[in-house]
A and B are shown apart, each in its own frame.
Chain A
Amino acid sequence: MALLELQGLTKRYGGIVAVDNVTMSVEPGEVRAVIGPNGAGKTSLFHLITGVVKPTMGEIVFDGQRVTAMPAFSRCQLGMSRTFQITALFPEMSARENTRLAAQARDKQRWRPLGGGAVFAEASRRGDAALERLGLSHVAERQAGLLSHGDQRLLEVAMALAQQPRLLLMDEPTQGLSVEETAQAVEVLGGLFAGGGLTVLLVEHDMEVVFRLASKMTVLHRGSVIADGDPATVKADPVVQDAYLGGYT
């Protein structure tokens, strides 16, 4: 059974159809890239899946459960974690505090108003493990807002990972990175996915990155899905060539 299923998902903003009748699914264990030109509706699709905005039409099913009307924080509690296209973290906290707060969200006692030493200890343990996996241990005590842009992007991934998500959604993890930083990020993420066990939905502009990281691809164009399959097939598809790859790279 698919972990995530989208059925006829549509989002309109006034006259603009940002997401147009999208039907697709994500199987457990796959790393799926969503690609498409600027304004294709990739971020809007992420907002719909995670509950930041509500769809105009269509259904979202996560792990067999209909979540279309569920608020964002509850969907996250079911096991969706995401990173944003524009880095979103807690700039005045240290990197460790960032991942700790992310991990704490998965604790049943996350709201404890007094005491809570055990909650912090467990969350720190998971948070530190996530920092380690992304090679950020050496900057753990640094203030998040003062990290390099590349490290900030990776820190956000570490925060998502610290939540031990069942579905990891990443919106352009290499956005705004230099060539070297991109190479480094691809290295780290590739290692992460190679271990298996993660189910990932990833928006990416950079074709190199997509072909290195993804095992499946969905191509969006003006809000609609125009191709879906493994990267090699999709790349060869004349419709995709025409709409995206030809004009872009």
Chain B
Amino acid sequence: MRMTLAVAVLLALLPLGLPPYAMTLLTEALIMGLFAMSLDLMVGYARLISFGHAAAYGLGAYTCGNILLHTDIPLPLAVPMAGVFSGFIGIGIAWVCTQATGVSFSMLTLALAQLLYAVAFKWTSVTGASDGLAGIPRRPGPFGTTYFSTKIGFYYLTMACLFGSFLFARALVRSPFGAVLRGIRENEAKTLSLGYNTRLYKIAVVAASYILGGLAGALYAPFAGFANTELLFWLLSGQVLIMVIVGGTGTLVGPILGAAFFLLVQQQLSTYTDSWALFFGVIFIAFVLFAPEGILGLARRRRSVRSH
């Protein structure tokens, strides 16, 4: 708890000293961090490997984009609304995907995300097809405030979403519900035979994951000012899975660090080479081979070595 508070204070103070372009990068890192953390709920705590988590992000982004473009609902309300909507769709997606387990589950998540991607291409009136939604505004309010439309105000809104989500997710994994998820992760057949309706638990955790992932997408739309089909594309699903693994699965915090690390490497390398993804691939393989516990696990390992 003290650690969480310290990080929150640090992040809250950063805008005072950072130049605008760094603020933009930091805001994006927090959004990606939230997205990666949402996937960790599934991957790290229930061993539900999703190859289609972009679905949650894209759903949140398009929903929030439409709310902001076509209604007067203020930004700080539009964002959670889009998250909840994404969670509802997540229930349906989970209902289909949990018919299968293991690799088949993963393949179904990929298939459904690609289905949404195809729909986004065709449903011009809602998604703007290949042009996407442009000019998504940051609507003022509530109570007439324009604070959240500013660069710094938006940063604090993002930070609040990330910390709120983190506290929620942490409470979730520490609850009786979370204990059942760990049971599913380690031995699903046994968990079932103990009397838990494991499929229901899996659907519930996917829904929670979609709410938080949708929240991240919902922040991205007004952050970037646009939403397009790339937000539903399998490439993003793959990238966020890499962020989770590089950061450290089953830790919530690790994937946030993984996302920041990914963006930093991308930003640094892409100024030198177009094939930066190749280099990140090498980094990813190195992590899988030499530090499967991820960045957070590495940090913890070093700390415990030093204290001995």
Contact = CB atoms under 8 A, between A and B. Distances in A.
Interface of A: 50, 52, 71-73, 76-77, 81-82, 84, 88-93, 97, 100-102, 104-107, 109-116, 119-120, 123, 159, 163
A112 B193 contact: no
Identify the interface centre among A88, A90, A92, A159: most chain B CB within 10 Å of its CB. Answer: A90
B190 A113 contact: no
Given A102-B194, A163-B194, A116 B187 contact: no
A119 B182 contact: no
B186 A72 contact: no
Nearest to B183: A101
B175 A101 contact: no
Given A52-B193, A73-B197, A110 B176 contact: yes
Given A111-B180, A112-B176, A89 B195 contact: no
Interface in B194-219: 194-198, 200-201, 204, 208
Contacts, number: 87
Nearest to A75: B195
Most buried by A among B171, B190, B197, B208: B190
A114 B194 contact: no
Given A89-B187, A90-B183, A90-B186, A113 B193 contact: no
A100 B187 CA distance: 15
Contact of B193 (A76, A91, A104, A115): A76
A113 B195 contact: no
Interface residues of B, number: 26
A89 B198 CA distance: 16
Given A104-B176, A116-B175, A73 B195 contact: yes
Interface of B: 171-172, 175-180, 182-183, 186-187, 189-198, 200-201, 204, 208
Contact of A112 (B177, B191, B196, B208): B177
B195 A106 contact: yes
Nearest to B179: A101
A89 B281 CA distance: 36
A100 B12 CA distance: 40
Contact of A111 (B171, B177, B187, B189): B177
B196 A105 contact: yes
21 contacts: A73-B193, A73-B195, A73-B196, A73-B198, A84-B190, A90-B182, A90-B183, A91-B187, A93-B182, A102-B194, A104-B176, A109-B176, A110-B196, A111-B180, A111-B201, A113-B175, A113-B177, A114-B171, A114-B172, A119-B176, A163-B195
